Amino acid sequence: MGRYVVRRLLQMVPVFVGATLLIFLMVNVMGDPIAGLCGERACDPATAAQLKREFGLDKPLWQQYLTYMGNIFTGDFGTAFNGQPVTELMATAFPVTIRLTIVAILFEIVIGITLGVVTGLHRGRPVDTGVLLATLVVISVPTFVTGLLLQLLLGVQWHWIQPSVSQQAAFGELIVPGLVLAAVSLAYVTRLTRTSIAENKRSDYVRTAVAKGLPRRRVVTRHLLRNSLIPVVTFIGADIGALMGGAIVTERIFNIHGVGYQLYQGILRQNTQTVVGFVTVLVLVFLLVNLLVDLLYAVLDPRIRYA
Protein backbone atom coordinates (compact mmCIF):
# COMPACT_ATOMS: atom_id res chain seq x y z
CA MET A 1 0.00 0.00 0.00
CA GLY A 2 2.72 2.46 1.05
CA ARG A 3 4.87 1.52 -1.91
CA TYR A 4 1.90 1.87 -4.23
CA VAL A 5 1.27 5.42 -3.02
CA VAL A 6 4.93 6.35 -3.40
CA ARG A 7 5.02 4.92 -6.92
CA ARG A 8 1.91 6.82 -7.86
CA LEU A 9 3.29 10.04 -6.43
CA LEU A 10 6.48 9.61 -8.45
CA GLN A 11 4.44 9.03 -11.59
CA MET A 12 2.82 12.39 -11.01
CA VAL A 13 6.07 14.27 -11.56
CA PRO A 14 6.34 13.80 -15.36
CA VAL A 15 2.58 14.34 -15.75
CA PHE A 16 2.86 17.55 -13.77
CA VAL A 17 5.85 18.84 -15.71
CA GLY A 18 4.29 17.90 -19.05
CA ALA A 19 0.94 19.50 -18.26
CA THR A 20 2.40 22.77 -17.02
CA LEU A 21 4.80 22.97 -19.96
CA LEU A 22 1.92 22.49 -22.38
CA ILE A 23 -0.11 25.25 -20.74
CA PHE A 24 2.92 27.50 -20.70
CA LEU A 25 3.49 26.96 -24.42
CA MET A 26 -0.18 27.44 -25.29
CA VAL A 27 -0.51 30.73 -23.46
CA ASN A 28 2.69 32.00 -25.04
CA VAL A 29 1.64 31.03 -28.55
CA MET A 30 -1.23 33.53 -28.20
CA GLY A 31 1.24 36.36 -28.68
CA ASP A 32 2.70 39.22 -26.75
CA PRO A 33 0.70 39.81 -23.56
CA ILE A 34 1.97 43.38 -23.17
CA ALA A 35 0.28 44.40 -26.43
CA GLY A 36 -3.20 44.17 -24.90
CA LEU A 37 -2.23 46.00 -21.76
CA CYS A 38 -2.44 49.54 -23.08
CA GLY A 39 -5.96 49.41 -24.46
CA GLU A 40 -6.81 50.50 -27.98
CA ARG A 41 -3.53 52.35 -28.40
CA ALA A 42 -0.09 50.83 -28.57
CA CYS A 43 2.10 50.94 -25.47
CA ASP A 44 5.01 53.25 -25.99
CA PRO A 45 8.03 51.09 -26.85
CA ALA A 46 10.13 52.09 -23.85
CA THR A 47 7.41 51.23 -21.31
CA ALA A 48 6.55 48.01 -23.14
CA ALA A 49 10.20 46.93 -23.11
CA GLN A 50 10.48 47.68 -19.43
CA LEU A 51 7.26 45.82 -18.56
CA LYS A 52 8.54 42.83 -20.53
CA ARG A 53 11.75 42.89 -18.58
CA GLU A 54 9.88 43.11 -15.31
CA PHE A 55 7.64 40.12 -16.09
CA GLY A 56 10.60 38.20 -17.55
CA LEU A 57 8.97 38.06 -20.98
CA ASP A 58 12.12 39.17 -22.79
CA LYS A 59 13.93 35.91 -22.09
CA PRO A 60 13.69 32.77 -24.27
CA LEU A 61 10.70 30.60 -23.52
CA TRP A 62 12.60 27.65 -22.02
CA GLN A 63 14.29 30.01 -19.61
CA GLN A 64 10.96 31.58 -18.64
CA TYR A 65 9.60 28.11 -17.96
CA LEU A 66 12.54 27.05 -15.83
CA THR A 67 12.45 30.25 -13.79
CA TYR A 68 8.73 29.87 -13.37
CA MET A 69 8.93 26.26 -12.18
CA GLY A 70 11.80 27.17 -9.88
CA ASN A 71 9.75 29.94 -8.33
CA ILE A 72 6.72 27.72 -7.87
CA PHE A 73 8.65 25.46 -5.51
CA THR A 74 9.25 28.44 -3.26
CA GLY A 75 5.55 29.28 -3.43
CA ASP A 76 6.02 32.26 -5.74
CA PHE A 77 3.46 32.19 -8.53
CA GLY A 78 4.39 35.59 -9.92
CA THR A 79 2.37 38.77 -10.23
CA ALA A 80 -0.78 39.43 -12.22
CA PHE A 81 -0.83 42.51 -14.46
CA ASN A 82 -2.92 44.49 -11.98
CA GLY A 83 -0.05 44.26 -9.53
CA GLN A 84 -1.61 41.58 -7.34
CA PRO A 85 0.41 38.45 -6.50
CA VAL A 86 -1.17 35.39 -8.12
CA THR A 87 -1.15 33.62 -4.76
CA GLU A 88 -3.42 36.37 -3.46
CA LEU A 89 -5.83 35.75 -6.35
CA MET A 90 -5.72 32.05 -5.55
CA ALA A 91 -6.38 32.65 -1.87
CA THR A 92 -9.62 34.44 -2.77
CA ALA A 93 -10.68 32.26 -5.69
CA PHE A 94 -10.01 28.71 -4.56
CA PRO A 95 -12.03 28.70 -1.32
CA VAL A 96 -15.07 29.95 -3.26
CA THR A 97 -14.71 27.36 -5.99
CA ILE A 98 -14.02 24.59 -3.47
CA ARG A 99 -17.26 25.48 -1.68
CA LEU A 100 -19.10 25.47 -4.99
CA THR A 101 -17.56 22.12 -5.90
CA ILE A 102 -18.51 20.64 -2.53
CA VAL A 103 -22.12 21.71 -3.04
CA ALA A 104 -22.12 20.26 -6.53
CA ILE A 105 -20.51 16.98 -5.46
CA LEU A 106 -22.96 16.69 -2.56
CA PHE A 107 -25.82 17.04 -5.00
CA GLU A 108 -24.27 14.38 -7.22
CA ILE A 109 -23.76 11.98 -4.33
CA VAL A 110 -27.02 12.51 -2.50
CA ILE A 111 -29.49 12.98 -5.34
CA GLY A 112 -27.60 11.13 -8.06
CA ILE A 113 -26.89 7.94 -6.14
CA THR A 114 -30.32 7.90 -4.48
CA LEU A 115 -32.11 8.23 -7.79
CA GLY A 116 -29.75 5.65 -9.28
CA VAL A 117 -30.51 3.14 -6.56
CA VAL A 118 -34.25 3.74 -6.75
CA THR A 119 -34.38 3.36 -10.52
CA GLY A 120 -31.92 0.46 -10.55
CA LEU A 121 -34.10 -1.47 -8.14
CA HIS A 122 -37.26 -0.69 -10.10
CA ARG A 123 -36.14 -1.17 -13.65
CA GLY A 124 -38.89 -0.66 -16.18
CA ARG A 125 -41.34 0.78 -13.68
CA PRO A 126 -42.79 4.29 -14.15
CA VAL A 127 -40.29 5.69 -11.62
CA ASP A 128 -37.45 4.38 -13.75
CA THR A 129 -38.83 5.70 -17.02
CA GLY A 130 -39.61 9.07 -15.47
CA VAL A 131 -36.13 9.55 -14.04
CA LEU A 132 -34.50 8.33 -17.26
CA LEU A 133 -36.47 10.88 -19.24
CA ALA A 134 -35.63 13.63 -16.78
CA THR A 135 -31.90 12.86 -16.93
CA LEU A 136 -32.06 12.87 -20.71
CA VAL A 137 -33.53 16.36 -20.62
CA VAL A 138 -30.90 17.57 -18.14
CA ILE A 139 -28.05 16.15 -20.21
CA SER A 140 -29.28 17.68 -23.45
CA VAL A 141 -29.92 21.21 -22.15
CA PRO A 142 -26.73 23.30 -22.03
CA THR A 143 -25.58 24.54 -18.62
CA PHE A 144 -25.95 28.21 -19.46
CA VAL A 145 -29.60 27.71 -20.39
CA THR A 146 -30.38 25.97 -17.10
CA GLY A 147 -28.40 28.61 -15.23
CA LEU A 148 -29.97 31.65 -16.85
CA LEU A 149 -33.44 30.15 -16.58
CA LEU A 150 -33.13 29.36 -12.89
CA GLN A 151 -31.58 32.77 -12.26
CA LEU A 152 -34.45 34.51 -14.03
CA LEU A 153 -37.21 32.43 -12.42
CA LEU A 154 -35.92 32.07 -8.87
CA GLY A 155 -34.07 35.37 -8.71
CA VAL A 156 -36.01 37.94 -10.71
CA GLN A 157 -39.53 36.52 -10.96
CA TRP A 158 -40.08 34.82 -7.62
CA HIS A 159 -37.40 36.45 -5.46
CA TRP A 160 -36.47 33.17 -3.78
CA ILE A 161 -32.77 33.73 -4.22
CA GLN A 162 -30.40 36.55 -5.12
CA PRO A 163 -29.54 36.41 -8.81
CA SER A 164 -25.89 37.05 -7.98
CA VAL A 165 -23.72 35.57 -5.30
CA SER A 166 -22.15 38.00 -2.83
CA GLN A 167 -18.48 38.36 -2.04
CA GLN A 168 -18.68 35.94 0.90
CA ALA A 169 -20.19 33.24 -1.33
CA ALA A 170 -21.57 31.34 1.67
CA PHE A 171 -22.82 27.78 1.24
CA GLY A 172 -26.43 28.94 1.31
CA GLU A 173 -25.95 31.20 -1.69
CA LEU A 174 -24.19 28.51 -3.67
CA ILE A 175 -27.07 26.01 -3.63
CA VAL A 176 -28.63 27.00 -6.92
CA PRO A 177 -25.30 27.61 -8.73
CA GLY A 178 -24.09 24.29 -7.31
CA LEU A 179 -27.16 22.53 -8.61
CA VAL A 180 -26.69 24.09 -12.04
CA LEU A 181 -23.04 23.13 -12.05
CA ALA A 182 -23.84 19.59 -10.91
CA ALA A 183 -26.86 19.04 -13.16
CA VAL A 184 -25.23 17.23 -16.05
CA SER A 185 -22.88 15.13 -13.91
CA LEU A 186 -25.76 14.37 -11.61
CA ALA A 187 -27.68 12.87 -14.50
CA TYR A 188 -24.68 10.74 -15.44
CA VAL A 189 -24.22 9.57 -11.85
CA THR A 190 -27.88 8.54 -11.76
CA ARG A 191 -27.58 6.55 -14.95
CA LEU A 192 -24.28 5.00 -13.96
CA THR A 193 -25.58 3.89 -10.56
CA ARG A 194 -28.77 2.60 -12.09
CA THR A 195 -26.99 0.35 -14.57
CA SER A 196 -24.50 -0.86 -12.02
CA ILE A 197 -27.22 -1.69 -9.46
CA ALA A 198 -29.42 -3.38 -12.01
CA GLU A 199 -26.49 -5.56 -13.12
CA ASN A 200 -25.34 -6.54 -9.67
CA LYS A 201 -28.87 -7.23 -8.47
CA ARG A 202 -28.76 -10.58 -10.25
CA SER A 203 -25.28 -11.55 -9.03
CA ASP A 204 -24.54 -14.53 -6.81
CA TYR A 205 -23.51 -12.66 -3.73
CA VAL A 206 -26.76 -10.72 -3.67
CA ARG A 207 -28.75 -13.91 -4.07
CA THR A 208 -26.71 -15.48 -1.24
CA ALA A 209 -27.28 -12.51 0.98
CA VAL A 210 -31.02 -12.62 0.33
CA ALA A 211 -31.05 -16.40 0.87
CA LYS A 212 -29.29 -15.94 4.22
CA GLY A 213 -32.35 -13.98 5.23
CA LEU A 214 -30.62 -10.61 5.65
CA PRO A 215 -32.95 -7.65 5.85
CA ARG A 216 -33.45 -6.05 2.47
CA ARG A 217 -32.02 -2.78 3.60
CA ARG A 218 -28.78 -4.44 4.64
CA VAL A 219 -28.58 -6.33 1.37
CA VAL A 220 -28.96 -3.13 -0.60
CA THR A 221 -26.61 -0.87 1.34
CA ARG A 222 -23.87 -3.28 2.45
CA HIS A 223 -23.73 -5.71 -0.45
CA LEU A 224 -25.37 -4.33 -3.54
CA LEU A 225 -24.55 -0.63 -3.27
CA ARG A 226 -20.99 -1.04 -2.07
CA ASN A 227 -20.04 -3.16 -5.04
CA SER A 228 -21.96 -1.04 -7.49
CA LEU A 229 -20.25 2.16 -6.43
CA ILE A 230 -16.83 1.54 -7.95
CA PRO A 231 -17.57 3.03 -11.39
CA VAL A 232 -19.56 5.83 -9.76
CA VAL A 233 -16.70 6.77 -7.45
CA THR A 234 -14.35 6.85 -10.42
CA PHE A 235 -16.67 9.19 -12.23
CA ILE A 236 -17.25 11.51 -9.27
CA GLY A 237 -13.52 11.62 -8.55
CA ALA A 238 -12.69 12.67 -12.06
CA ASP A 239 -15.54 15.15 -11.89
CA ILE A 240 -14.07 17.06 -8.95
CA GLY A 241 -11.24 18.33 -11.11
CA ALA A 242 -13.55 18.96 -14.04
CA LEU A 243 -15.99 20.95 -11.90
CA MET A 244 -13.29 23.14 -10.38
CA GLY A 245 -11.75 24.04 -13.72
CA GLY A 246 -14.91 24.02 -15.77
CA ALA A 247 -17.10 26.27 -13.65
CA ILE A 248 -16.49 29.22 -15.99
CA VAL A 249 -20.06 29.34 -17.32
CA THR A 250 -21.74 28.89 -13.95
CA GLU A 251 -19.44 31.36 -12.24
CA ARG A 252 -20.09 34.00 -14.88
CA ILE A 253 -23.84 33.64 -14.70
CA PHE A 254 -24.05 33.88 -10.91
CA ASN A 255 -21.24 36.42 -10.45
CA ILE A 256 -19.04 34.02 -8.50
CA HIS A 257 -15.46 35.21 -8.30
CA GLY A 258 -13.86 31.81 -8.30
CA VAL A 259 -11.30 29.88 -10.27
CA GLY A 260 -13.33 29.88 -13.47
CA TYR A 261 -13.66 33.66 -13.40
CA GLN A 262 -9.97 34.21 -12.73
CA LEU A 263 -9.01 31.82 -15.52
CA TYR A 264 -11.36 33.56 -17.92
CA GLN A 265 -9.95 36.98 -17.04
CA GLY A 266 -6.43 35.60 -17.27
CA ILE A 267 -7.04 34.24 -20.75
CA LEU A 268 -8.80 37.41 -21.96
CA ARG A 269 -5.96 39.58 -20.73
CA GLN A 270 -3.43 36.97 -21.75
CA ASN A 271 -1.95 36.97 -18.31
CA THR A 272 0.51 34.08 -18.39
CA GLN A 273 1.19 34.13 -14.68
CA THR A 274 -2.48 33.88 -13.70
CA VAL A 275 -3.40 31.21 -16.21
CA VAL A 276 -0.39 28.98 -15.66
CA GLY A 277 -0.59 29.39 -11.88
CA PHE A 278 -4.24 28.41 -11.65
CA VAL A 279 -3.88 25.54 -14.10
CA THR A 280 -0.86 24.25 -12.17
CA VAL A 281 -2.91 24.03 -9.00
CA LEU A 282 -5.81 22.44 -10.89
CA VAL A 283 -3.47 19.80 -12.33
CA LEU A 284 -2.29 19.02 -8.79
CA VAL A 285 -5.87 18.73 -7.56
CA PHE A 286 -6.70 16.43 -10.44
CA LEU A 287 -3.75 14.16 -9.77
CA LEU A 288 -4.36 13.94 -6.03
CA VAL A 289 -8.07 13.25 -6.43
CA ASN A 290 -7.29 10.46 -8.88
CA LEU A 291 -4.92 8.89 -6.38
CA LEU A 292 -7.57 9.16 -3.69
CA VAL A 293 -10.14 7.49 -5.94
CA ASP A 294 -7.81 4.59 -6.64
CA LEU A 295 -7.20 4.13 -2.93
CA LEU A 296 -10.93 4.20 -2.27
CA TYR A 297 -11.41 1.12 -4.44
CA ALA A 298 -9.84 -1.03 -1.76
CA VAL A 299 -12.28 0.25 0.80
CA LEU A 300 -15.23 -0.54 -1.45
CA ASP A 301 -13.97 -3.91 -2.65
CA PRO A 302 -11.48 -5.62 -0.34
CA ARG A 303 -10.50 -7.99 -3.14
CA ILE A 304 -8.60 -5.08 -4.69
CA ARG A 305 -5.15 -4.96 -3.11
CA TYR A 306 -2.22 -2.69 -3.74
CA ALA A 307 1.23 -4.11 -3.73
Partner 1 sequence: MRGATHAKWAACTAVMVLMAAACGGASGNGGTGGGVLSSSWGDPQNPLEPANTNEVQGGKVLDMIFRGLKRYDPKTAQARNMLAEKIATSDSQNFTVTIKDGWTFSNGEKITAKSFVDAWNYGASLKNNQKNAYFFGYIQGYDQVHPATGTQSADTLSGLQVVNDRTFTVKLNQKFSSFPDTLGYVAFAPLPRSFFSDHAAWLAKPVGNGPYMIDSYTRGFQMALTKWDGYPGADKAQNDGVTLKVYTDSDTAYTDLLAGNLDLVDDIPASQLRNVKKDLGNRYINTPAGIIQTLAFPYYDKAWDRPGAEKVRTGLSMAINRKQITDTIFQKTRTPASDWTSPVLGTEGGFKEGLCGSACDYDPAGAKRLIQEGGGLPGGQLKITYNADTGSHRMWVDAVCNSINNALGNDKACVGNPIGTFADFRNQISQHKMSGPFRAGWQMDYPLIQNFLQPLYYTNASSNDGKWSNAQFDKLVDQANAETDTAKAVSTFQQAEEVVRDNMAAIPLWYQNGSAGYSERLSNVALNPFSVPVYDEIKVG
C-alpha 218/C-alpha 119 separation (Å) is: 18
Least distance in angstroms from the C-beta of 8 to partner 1:
33
- Asked if 154 and 161 touch (Cβ cutoff 8 Å), the reply is yes
C-alpha 240/C-alpha 131 separation (Å) is: 24
- Among residues 13 and 35, whose Cβ is nearest to partner 1? 35
Q: Which residues in the 239-258 window bind partner 1 by CB under 8 A?
A: 251-257
CB under 8 A: which stretch of 185-193, 237-245, 265-273, 276-284 binds partner 1? 265-273
Q: Which residues in the 88-127 window bind partner 1 by CB under 8 A?
A: 88-89, 92, 106, 110-111, 114, 117-118, 121
Least distance in angstroms from the C-beta of 185 to partner 1:
16
Q: Which residues in the 144-203 window bind partner 1 by CB under 8 A?
A: 151-152, 155-156, 159-164, 166-168, 170-173, 175-176
Q: Rule CB under 8 A: is residue 129 a binding residue for partner 1?
A: no
CB atoms within 10 A of CB 60: 8
CB under 8 A: which stretch of 63-71, 186-194, 231-239, 259-267 binds partner 1? 259-267
CB atoms within 10 A of CB 109: 16
198-217 burial, b at 16+ Cβ within 10 Å, e below that, comes to bebbeeeebeebeeeeeeee
C-alpha 124/C-alpha 237 separation (Å) is: 29
Among 7, 11, 15, 54, binds partner 1 (CB under 8 A): 54
3-state secondary structure of 9: helix
Q: Which residues in the 196-235 window bind partner 1 by CB under 8 A?
A: 216-218, 220-221
Q: Rule CB under 8 A: is residue 62 a binding residue for partner 1?
A: no
Least distance in angstroms from the C-beta of 78 to partner 1:
15
Handedness of CA 51, 53, 59, 62 (dihedral sign): negative
- Among residues 47 and 67, whose Cβ is nearest to partner 1? 47
- Among residues 105 and 287, whose Cβ is nearest to partner 1? 105
Q: Which residues in the 268-287 window bind partner 1 by CB under 8 A?
A: 268-270
- Among residues 73 and 158, whose Cβ is nearest to partner 1? 158
Q: Which long-range contacts (CB under 8 A, 24 or more apart) does 80-87 make?
A: 80/266, 80/271, 80/273, 80/274, 81/33, 81/37, 81/269, 81/271, 86/273, 86/274, 86/277, 86/278, 87/277
Least distance in angstroms from the C-beta of 193 to partner 1:
12
